[in-house]
């Protein structure tokens, strides 16, 4: 049992564990926007997708890309877009990733084309997970995505469950439009037999520069606390959400983070955002991006001309993201920076600085008072 820790001691332990982990940083998880073509015009589209890019990869180039990233150690890939189901060779490239490269394959889709026939084809090709975007109840969802889209999403989720896709996820972007619907969305997802994942709206893509529908800090806190309680009821695998700040109220996670003998992957070293540590993005032209937002400023390489292994180990930007003592503002002063680090996507989209403070974070760094008691309770148990 670890003795009670001061915030500085907690920071020192978690910093050392984090640094040991990032020495072995590998590009394990990839989000690949296989096309920018999309037949919806969602108000919140983070990619601002509509027409396919002129320089999107050919089928053979996608095969070469998959060879490239598999060689670098990528084990899981999410095909997204745009709308990936509009790509004619989708089943072929999924089959190549799953059957020939042994990757865990997921699909991120707006759900409008997931007929039983297509879902069966996806399953046969090797898709293990399907994420369908449903941004609230009918009115809220269709305000964002268009009339008639809600029922198609519900049918898409049912088709995936019926066909036997291993993991089916309702994924929702939370904003002022649907914040009040969070409990109902959870209830509906559980009733459908699917998992649910919620992420915050951020001002990027088609919503760049707009902040009127972002959650307030208090709403972020209350939403995360509600979702954490739902995890206790339904299990953490069924209830997923952006919980980078939740670590400050999760005594079990604090205990794991503060245990110097638990060193391994991110299950032993909770670290919040994993972009540049375990995860990266590939855009439709083959560019490698980190920071969880596709923008030219965050491109670190080009898979048409470079090996991912070389890009990953020679990126100055990735090195910066792996050193959280370089974070700025509140994040850089926080005792939880090595188990949280804030949302880099939110920081960049709101401040223009990938290392800036996360303006949506409700947590106030506490280098004394209650935080000492919280850490001590996490590692020793409640005081009697």
Per the model's pLDDT, the better-predicted residue between 87 and 249 turns out to be 87
How confident is the model at residue 264, as a pLDDT? 60
Given the structure tokens 């500085």, which residue do they identify?
Answer: 8
- Is the CATH number of domain 25-325 3.20.20.70? yes
**Average pLDDT for residues 264-283, to the nearest whole number?**
81
Long-range contacts of 307-311 (CB under 8 A, 24+ apart): 307/68, 307/71, 307/72, 308/27, 308/68, 308/69, 308/71, 308/72, 308/74, 309/71, 309/72, 309/73
How confident is the model at residue 367, as a pLDDT? 54
How confident is the model at residue 383, as a pLDDT? 45
Q: If you average pLDDT over every residue of the chain, what do you get?
A: 89
Residue 236's pLDDT band (cuts 50, 70, 90): confident
Per the model's pLDDT, the better-predicted residue between 266 and 43 turns out to be 43
Say yes or no to pLDDT of 278 above 80. Answer: yes
Q: Report phi then psi at 45, rounded to 5.
A: -55, 115
**Average pLDDT for residues 181-196, to the nearest whole number?**
98
Residue 211's pLDDT band (cuts 50, 70, 90): confident
Q: Is 102 left (phi over 0), alpha (psi -120 to 50) or beta?
A: left
Residue 243's pLDDT band (cuts 50, 70, 90): low
pLDDT digits (tens, 9 = 90+) for 300-322: 999 999 999 999 999 999 999 99
- Diameter over CA atoms, the chain: 67
Residue 192's pLDDT band (cuts 50, 70, 90): very high
CA 59 to chain centre: 26
Among 190-194, 196-200, 370-374, the minimum mean pLDDT is found in: 370-374
Say yes or no to pLDDT of 11 above 70. Answer: yes
**Contact status, residue 284 vs residue 34, Cβ threshold 8 Å:** yes
pLDDT digits (tens, 9 = 90+) for 83-116: 999 999 999 999 999 999 999 999 999 999 999 9
Say yes or no to pLDDT of 203 above 60. Answer: yes
How confident is the model at residue 348, as a pLDDT? 92
Residue 253's pLDDT band (cuts 50, 70, 90): confident
Q: Give 352's contacts (C-beta < 8 A, 6+ positions apart).
A: none
Distance CA 172, CA 79 (A): 17
How confident is the model at residue 247, as a pLDDT? 66
pLDDT digits (tens, 9 = 90+) for 110-163: 999 999 999 999 999 999 999 999 999 999 999 999 999 999 999 999 999 999
Residue 378's pLDDT band (cuts 50, 70, 90): very low
**Contact status, residue 380 vs residue 260, Cβ threshold 8 Å:** no
CB atoms within 10 A of CB 197: 16
Residue 370's pLDDT band (cuts 50, 70, 90): very low
Helix (H) or strand (E) segment spanning residue 224 = helix 217-234
How confident is the model at residue 251, as a pLDDT? 72
**Average pLDDT for residues 337-352, to the nearest whole number?**
90
pLDDT above 70 coverage of the chain, percent: 91
What pTM value is reported for the model?
0.90
CB atoms within 10 A of CB 353: 14
With b for 16 or more beta-carbon neighbours within 10 A and e for fewer, the 143-160 pattern comes to: ebbbeebbebbbbbbbbb
pLDDT above 90 coverage of the chain, percent: 66
Distance CA 294, CA 288 (A): 9
How confident is the model at residue 372, as a pLDDT? 43
């Amino acid at each position: 049992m670890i003795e009670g820790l001061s915030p500085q001691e907690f920071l020192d332990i978690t910093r050392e564990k984090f640094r040991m982990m990032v020495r072995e940083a590998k590009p394990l998880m990839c989000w690949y926007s296989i096309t920018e073509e999309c037949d919806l015009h969602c108000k919140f589209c983070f990619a601002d997708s509509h027409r396919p890019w002129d320089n999107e990869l050919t089928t053979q180039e996608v095969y070469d890309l998959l060879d490239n990233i598999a060689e670098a150690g990528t084990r899981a890939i999410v095909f997204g877009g745009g709308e990936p189901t509009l790509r004619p060779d989708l089943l072929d490239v999924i089959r190549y990733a799953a059957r020939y490269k042994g990757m865990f394959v997921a699909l991120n889709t707006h759900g409008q084309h997931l007929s039983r026939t297509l879902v069966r084809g996806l399953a046969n090709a090797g898709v293990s997970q399907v994420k369908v975007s449903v941004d609230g109840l009918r009115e809220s969802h269709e305000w964002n995505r268009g009339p008639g889209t809600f029922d198609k999403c519900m049918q898409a989720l049912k088709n995936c469950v019926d066909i036997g896709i291993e993991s089916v996820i309702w994924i929702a972007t939370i904003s002022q439009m649907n914040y009040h619907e969070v409990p109902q969305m959870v209830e509906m997802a559980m009733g459908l037999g699917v998992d649910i994942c919620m992420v915050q709206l951020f001002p990027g893509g088609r919503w760049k520069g707009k902040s009127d529908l972002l959650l307030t800090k208090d709403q972020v806190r209350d939403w995360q606390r509600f979702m954490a309680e739902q995890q206790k009821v339904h299990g953490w695998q069924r209830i997923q959400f952006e919980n980078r700040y939740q670590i400050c109220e999760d005594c079990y996670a604090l205990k794991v983070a503060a245990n110097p003998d638990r060193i391994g992957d991110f299950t032993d070293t909770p670290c919040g955002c994993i972009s540049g540590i375990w995860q990266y993005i590939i855009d439709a032209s083959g560019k490698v991006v980190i920071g969880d937002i596709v923008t030219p400023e965050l491109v670190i390489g080009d898979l048409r001309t470079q090996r991912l292994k070389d890009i990953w180990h020679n990126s100055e930007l990735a090195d910066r993201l792996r050193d959280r003592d370089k974070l700025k503002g509140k994040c850089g002063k926080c005792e939880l920076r090595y188990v949280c680090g804030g949302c880099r996507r939110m920081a960049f989209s709101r401040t223009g600085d990938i290392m800036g403070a996360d303006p949506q974070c409700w947590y106030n760094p506490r280098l004394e008072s209650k935080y000492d008691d919280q850490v001590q309770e996490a590692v020793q148990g409640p005081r009697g």
